[in-house]
Amino acid sequence: MAVGLRAQVKSSPINVTAIGDNTIVAAVAGKLITVVGLLLINGVATAQNVTIKDDGAIVLAGPMALSTAGSPLFMPERPDFEYFSTSNPANNLILNLSAATQVGGVVWYAQW
């Protein structure tokens, strides 16, 4: 994504606790979700593995370990770079948790 498209970048807070799949960005008809930045923080000392995928069960990133409370996983927002995109415009962006612990943060994305 070119810097001129920065105005199209949106953000969504993340606050999930359920083991398994958690939707962090809902699909919009006809548009892929393209992640340009991500911050995840494990809220407790329990080890946590996170996997980012889409509804099509396509793994986009991970599993990634969030092992200590407050230790972040940070992919800085870069509107000129995309980390990954959903595989189909009908798919939500999913954060899968290996344990039922609180994970918070923010995702920066564009939909087109």
What residue ranges do the domains of the chain occupy? 3-111
CA-wise closest residue to 42 among 57, 64, 62: 64
Mean pLDDT of all residues in the chain?
84
Residue 2 is predicted with a pLDDT of: 46
Residue 67 is predicted with a pLDDT of: 73
Residue 16 is predicted with a pLDDT of: 95
| Angstrom distance (rounded) from CA 20 to CA 100 | 8
Top mean pLDDT of 5-9, 37-41, 72-76 is at 37-41
pLDDT tens-place string over residues 9-56: 899 999 999 999 999 999 999 999 999 988 998 887 778 899 999 987
Under a CB-based contact definition with an 8 Å cutoff, are residues 95 and 87 in contact? Answer: no
Q: Which CATH number describes the domain made up of 3-111?
A: 2.60.120.340
Output 78 or 26, whichever has higher pLDDT: 26
* Stated pTM of the model: 0.84
Residue 32 is predicted with a pLDDT of: 93
